[in-house]
Amino acid sequence: MLAYGFHFDQVTYGTLINGLCKTGHTSAAIQVLRKIPRYGIAPDVFMYSAIIDSLCKVTLVSEAFYLYSEMLARGISPDVITYSSLIFGLCLEGQYKEAIDLLSDMVLRNLTPDVSTYSILIDGLCKEGKIKDAKNVLAVMTKHGVKPNVVTYNSLMDGYCLVNQVNKAKYVFNTMAQSRVLLNVQSYNIMINGLCKSKMVDEALSLFEKMRSKYLDPNTVTYNTLIDGLSKSKRISCALELLVKMHKRGPPANVVTYNSLLDGMFNIKQVDKALMLFKQMKESGIDPDICTYNILIDGLCKGGRLVVAKEIFQDLSVKGYPPDVRTYNIMINGLCREGLFKEALALLSEMEHNGCLPNAVTFETVIRALFEKDENDMAEKLLREMVARGLLN
């Protein structure tokens, strides 16, 4: 178009840069930013902010700050979007002090952070368990007359649940309703997850029913969280009822759903039912992942089905699921439990040959089993190797 003599303005170039950034072509967007001065177009805050936002989302924070410095040098004033993007990037990098300093710098430039800016910072702090700092940011936010929204409250609830303060999360949940902030599906999911992690599964189920009474449709995450909580509480029949409801009501079950159920079944020694469920899973068109196979092999080993576990393990690579270090550790543990040390040591060598480095758990499993069977010489040899590899604290 340029070759045909068309002339574009700032809006056109800004749209092009924004579109390139949104489709992941940030390098091309930077090229456009560098070229436009030759066409008599000055870059503006919208163009810079689009690129800075894109860079921060892929944790190229240093590059984003280089552009931020360039903006200032050119006399282009950053706006709320620029600062929000940079704060998001710093939070992703775990640089929370710098993120808080940037918020202060923003205020000094007479720019009022909006609810999104504050929420980004609160969310980042909460994800790191820095609840006290998050509450301080919330206090500053409310002091400046910015009302928290559902995203802000959700982040706080999530943070409290992360540090096992589920009662404080419940307080935030109730505060939302009192503040006339509409709870969304994520609000309920966070609270249900927190309750399940705190072994308050009945209360989580009650909240699940309350959610449906509010005409909020539970999604796959909601069901998966409850199924996992019920499975860990050994309430498999109740978890299976929820699976039936999933099939009836629409949210599709996925590999996470079945992994939780399989794990729960193996934990209560329902080996045959677990194998039937695994078959049902595949028949439903849901592909197992390596986590599924780890649960399956572990459950079979602990359930006295070592031969079947070995067959599944040997077929993994053929099926396109290369064993990870956890898979090897499970299989080695299963062999050691049966006193099959030669096979366990062969597997230890095999995993290195296949590019899967053993970790401290691998060595500890074999060493402990050898000592228990008075195979002290071999155990001490492996212990020395473990020390040589720097795997012993």
**Per-residue pLDDT reduced to its tens digit, 366-384:** 999 999 988 899 999 999 9
C-alpha 170/C-alpha 185 separation (Å) is 15
Q: Return the C-alpha torsion angle 320, 326, 331, 334, nearest 10.
A: -150
Q: Which CATH architecture best describes the domain 198-288?
A: Alpha Horseshoe (1.25)
Burial call 119-155: b when 16+ CB within 10 Å, e when fewer: bbbbbbbbbeebbebbeebbebbeeeebebbebbbbb
Nearest to 277 by CA among 249, 264, 220, 289: 264
Asked if 17 and 33 touch (Cβ cutoff 8 Å), the reply is yes
Question: Looking only at Cα atoms, what is the longest distance across the chain?
Answer: 86
Is 261 exposed, middle or buried (CB count within 10 Å of its CB: 0-12, 13-18, 19+)? Answer: buried
pLDDT(352) > 90: no
C-alpha 57/C-alpha 88 separation (Å) is 8
- What number is the average pLDDT over the span 112-138? 94
pLDDT in tens, 181-220: 999 999 999 999 999 999 999 999 999 999 988 889 999 9
Percent of the chain with pLDDT over 90: 85
C-alpha 22/C-alpha 209 separation (Å) is 39
- Please tell me the predicted confidence (pLDDT) of residue 215: 87
pLDDT band for position 237 (50/70/90)? very high
- What number is the average pLDDT over the span 9-35? 95
Percent of the chain with pLDDT over 70: 100
- Please tell me the predicted confidence (pLDDT) of residue 125: 95
Nearest to 52 by CA among 77, 82, 84, 31: 82
Stated pTM of the model: 0.87
pLDDT(4) > 90: no
pLDDT(177) > 90: no
- What number is the average pLDDT over the span 328-345? 94
C-alpha 41/C-alpha 108 separation (Å) is 30
Q: Name the residue with higher pLDDT: 156 or 180.
A: 156
Amino acid at the residue 344: A
Which residues touch 11 (CB under 8 Å, ≥6 apart)? Answer: none
- What number is the average pLDDT over the span 112-125? 95
CATH topology for 1-107 is 1.25.40
C-alpha 22/C-alpha 83 separation (Å) is 18
- Please tell me the predicted confidence (pLDDT) of residue 17: 96
- What number is the average pLDDT over the span 154-170? 96
Dihedral pair phi/psi, residue 375, rounded to 5° = -90, 65
Tell me the two tokens of residue 168.
Answer: 């404080």
pLDDT(161) > 80: yes
Which stretches of 36-164 are DSSP H helices? Answer: 45-57, 61-73, 80-92, 96-108, 115-127, 131-143, 150-162
Identify the DSSP state of 37: G
pLDDT(1) > 90: no
Report CA-CA distances (Å) from 170 to 174, 191, 192, 232, 316. Answer: 6, 7, 10, 22, 44
- Please tell me the predicted confidence (pLDDT) of residue 54: 96
pLDDT in tens, 36-92: 998 889 999 999 999 999 999 999 999 999 999 999 999 999 999 999 999 999 999
Asked if 65 and 96 touch (Cβ cutoff 8 Å), the reply is no
pLDDT(393) > 80: no
